[in-house]
Amino acid sequence: MRFITEESRLPLLPCVATIGCFDGVHRGHRYLIEQVRREARARGLQSTLITFPVHPRQVMQSDYRPQWLTCLPQKKDLLQQEDADYCILLPFTHELSLLSARQFMELLHVRFNVQALVIGYDHRFGHNRSEGFDDYCRYGKELGIEVIHAQALVENGVSISSSLIRNLLKQGDAARANRYLGYRYYLDGKVVSGYQVGRKLGFPTANLQPSCTDKLVPKEGVYAVYAYAEGKRYAGMLNIGHRPTVDNGTERSIEVHIIGFEGNLYQHSLRVEFVQYLRPEQKFEGIEALISQLQRDKEAIVHLLGR
């Protein structure tokens, strides 16, 4: 796949394209991308994905903070695996937001040589987003673009979407979110200094500062995770919350006890993949009760993931 930016200015071969945010690059997206590849092969054209480096609402609302499933570098890594010919990173500008659906389709045709456009089952574009598939077909006939209606990926009556996965993570249902993503949801970043409470309790933790501040952090609580540190994968016990039992701050932390790891990860890169939600964060009557619960959590994780 070749990523195309405004600076690339490469002449593009005629293509079949689709457009979207592709947040999460989940199974529903991959199903859509496969339809684009199939339609492109049938016509002897290139397959093209068109997406935005920033969320369109961030352009329209300066205070809007999306809760991404994947920030841009992560999204590019996942899209790279999908074997389309091009991925166009189209900056969403105020001028672009003012285009009607027909004007936007004309831009796709003229600037990016789009000959056929695969439209997601719920996708709308254009200035007021009031038009639908029949309108797009009519504009396509006028402009010389074949408009193709994509099929949604439906599993047990549920249409897989980014908003569905986002809501599941907010509820702590990491296992179901992972099933719809097709991979384990993850956070990555650097290990920063923390309160050193875990070490005193016999459960030293790495305090993760996510690399992407706009990425969704799942519901607070305790999770079984895989932690990737220094080139190896470990089982881990992760807590998202405020440490109410030790009462040492109100700032939310993301701390992981890496089972079997010995060493200092301060300022090192760390990635954690969410496997299963264990329990909510809670305030215990004392330190001994907290330690007992942590030991039970660790045993449950070892049983689930191994060491």
- The CATH number of the domain holding residue 141 is 3.40.50.620
Domain interval for residue 282: 184-305
User: Is the Cβ–Cβ distance between 112 and 49 less than 8 Å?
Assistant: no
- The model carries a pTM of 0.92
176-179 LR contacts (CB < 8 Å, sep 24+): 177/274, 178/274, 178/275
For residue 218 the two structure tokens come to 């799942």
Residue 72 pLDDT level (bands cut at 50, 70, 90) = very high
- Classified as helix, coil or strand, 232 is strand
177, part of any domain = no
Highest mean pLDDT among 50-59, 181-190, 250-259: 181-190
Could you please report the per-residue DSSP string of 63-83? T----BSS-HHHHHHHHHTT-
Q: Determine which of 166-180, 200-214, 243-257, 264-278 has the lowest per-residue pLDDT on average.
A: 243-257
CB atoms within 10 A of CB 244: 13
Whether 151 and 255 map to the same domain: the answer is no
What was the pLDDT predicted at 216?
97
Indicate which residue of 255, 273, 288, 299 is catalytic. 255
Distant-in-sequence, close-in-space partners of 68: CB < 8 Å, separation ≥ 6: 23, 55, 212, 214, 215, 216
Catalytic (active site) residue 255? yes
How far is residue 253 from each of residues 103, 217, 238, 242, 270, measured CA to CA in Å? 46, 10, 10, 6, 15
What was the pLDDT predicted at 131?
81
CATH of the domain at 283: 2.40.30.30
287, part of any domain = yes
For residue 75 the two structure tokens come to 């999204």
For residue 140 the two structure tokens come to 């396509």
Using one digit for the tens of pLDDT, what is the confidence trace for 125-151? 776 667 888 999 999 999 999 999 999
Helices 101-112 and 133-143: crossing angle, nearest 10°? Answer: 40
Q: Is the pLDDT of residue 57 over 70?
A: yes
Whether 10 and 138 map to the same domain: the answer is yes
Structural domain count of the chain: 2
Whether 13 and 112 map to the same domain: the answer is yes
88, part of any domain = yes
| Nearest of 297, 301, 275, 299 to residue 284 by alpha carbon | 297
Q: Is the pLDDT of residue 55 over 90?
A: no
Q: Determine which of 120-124, 174-178, 249-253 has the lowest per-residue pLDDT on average.
A: 120-124
Whether 145 and 44 map to the same domain: the answer is yes
Q: Determine which of 25-34, 162-171, 212-221, 259-268 has the lowest per-residue pLDDT on average.
A: 259-268
179 half-sphere exposure, CB direction, 13 A CA radius: 11
- Sign of dihedral through CA atoms 106, 108, 109, 110? positive
| Nearest of 123, 40, 126, 33 to residue 87 by alpha carbon | 33
What was the pLDDT predicted at 200?
66
What was the pLDDT predicted at 286?
82
> How confident is the model over 197-215, as a mean pLDDT?
85
Of all residues in the chain, what percent carry a pLDDT higher than 90? 71
> How confident is the model over 193-214, as a mean pLDDT?
82
| Nearest of 196, 211, 208 to residue 237 by alpha carbon | 208
In the block, which residue shows the tokens 């841009």? 72
Q: Determine which of 45-54, 109-118, 195-204 has the lowest per-residue pLDDT on average.
A: 195-204
Residue 245 pLDDT level (bands cut at 50, 70, 90) = low
Whether 148 and 202 map to the same domain: the answer is no
Whether 87 and 236 map to the same domain: the answer is no
Distance between CA 148 and CA 134 in Å, rounded?
A: 11
> How confident is the model over 168-194, as a mean pLDDT?
96
Whether 188 and 253 map to the same domain: the answer is yes
Whether 148 and 272 map to the same domain: the answer is no
Q: Is the pLDDT of residue 198 over 70?
A: no
165, part of any domain = no
Whether 190 and 129 map to the same domain: the answer is no
175, part of any domain = no
254, part of any domain = yes
178, part of any domain = no
Whether 232 and 133 map to the same domain: the answer is no
> How confident is the model over 271-290, as a mean pLDDT?
91
Distant-in-sequence, close-in-space partners of 103: CB < 8 Å, separation ≥ 6: 126
Average pLDDT of the chain? 91
Whether 232 and 301 map to the same domain: the answer is yes
What was the pLDDT predicted at 156?
92
How far is residue 156 from each of residues 75, 159, 167, 252, measured CA to CA in Å? 27, 9, 18, 36
Of all residues in the chain, what percent carry a pLDDT higher than 70? 94
Helical H segments across 81-173, by residue range = 94-97, 101-112, 133-143, 162-170
Whether 92 and 23 map to the same domain: the answer is yes
> How confident is the model over 13-27, as a mean pLDDT?
96
What was the pLDDT predicted at 248?
60
188, part of any domain = yes
User: Is the Cβ–Cβ distance between 20 and 51 less than 8 Å?
Assistant: yes
In the block, which residue shows the tokens 């056929």? 116
